Amino acid sequence: MSPRRTPSKRLSRRRLLQSGAIAATQFGAGCVTAGNGGLSATRNRTDQQEPPPTAPQNRPVDTSDMTLVFEDWFEGDSLDRSKWMTKFPWDTRTHNFDAYAADENAYVEDGKLVLLAEDKPREEMSYTTGVVAADWIFGPGYFEGVMKVPPRFPGSWPAFWLTSASVWPPEVDIFEFFGDDPKAYMSYHYNGEDNEIERVYDSYDGGDYSDGFHEFSVDWDPPERIVWYIDGEERFRYTGDYIKFEHMHLILNFGLGADFLGYPSSEYLPSTYEIERIRAWER
């Protein structure tokens, strides 16, 4: 399928959630201040020392003029707490789905980061799940992850995304999978004309992404373009007028349960979202 620009769609706050967007009210309690706060992301590999990845490495973007600022290959026996927090970066363990993000549900096993979703009510939520956010604030650049998403089932909502470290929007969804829909959704949320919240998006059906590890990436290059790739192939491009420089958080979460998605029954749980590596370059 050739890349195409999808016309923007102006959304009400209710439809934002129904379309898979982050609800603006999640940021109503206060903004997160930008800046790296003295944190650094320790590198454990160089481009010359990369082991053969599970997914084909077809990096479609020349990163030679960028700086590798963050990476994790999850090679140890535990999550590197100097790189990751197991909650959302605005210091909560709940979001716009019906699951509590428990610390113990994000862990490293067999060289993979695992986000575990369970049929366990907790903290007034119907389920327990895993979330990680990078302990780093990113500028524009190239972001890639290799992961195996969970099998499709009603109420499932795995995602890999960037969101503003100051005020929402903007947000770049590298991918989201909604329930039993097989398509990967790629989205950009922004303040458009008259400061109205808008979303441009496209989707791609490449088969069953839970059958193995696949590479998902985005090239965020304001003010020119945002380009999404799956397994090294361009699948969506946005070149509109509202791509602005922002500092962004990077988040991976396994959402469960929402009115527009349904609520998973116990037959589908536990379920896992596995991540082999995360890398980020800044311009």
Q: Any idea where the domains of the chain sit in the sequence? A: 46-282
Q: Select from 208, 217, 111 the least CA-distant residue to 161.
A: 217
Contact at 8 Å (CB) between 281 and 141?
yes
- Cis peptide leading into residue 169 (ω within 30°): yes
> pLDDT per residue over 180-227, tens digit each?
999 999 999 999 988 999 999 999 999 999 999 999 999 999 999 999
Average pLDDT over residues 94-114: 98
DSSP per-residue letters across the chain: ----PPPPEE--HHHHHHTTPPPGGGGTT-PPPPS-TT--------GGGPPPPSS-----S--TTSEEEEEE---SSS--TTTEESSBTTTBS--SSSEEE-GGGEEEETTEEEEEEBS--BTTBSEEE-EEEESS-B-SEEEEEEEEPPPP-TTEEEEEEEEESSSS--EEEEEE--TT--PEEEEEEEE-GGG-EEEEEEEE--S-GGGS-EEEEEEEETTTEEEEEETTEEEEEE--S------EEEEEEEEE-BTTTB---GGG-SEEEEEEEEEEEE-
What is the reported pLDDT for 52? 45
pLDDT at residue 57, as a whole number: 63
Least confident of 15-29, 151-165, 175-189: 15-29
Look over the chain and give the mean of its residue pLDDT values, rounded to a whole number.
85
| pLDDT digit string, tens, across residues 78-96 | 999 999 999 999 999 999 9
Specify whether domain 46-282 bears CATH 3.30.70.260.
Answer: no
Residue 1 CA to residue 189 CA, distance in Å, equals 23
Q: What pLDDT, in 10s, does the model give residues 23-71?
A: 333 332 233 333 343 333 433 333 434 444 455 566 799 999 999 999 9
Backbone angles phi, psi at 40, to 5 degrees: -130, 150
For the question of whether the overall pTM of this predicted structure is more than 0.75, the answer is yes
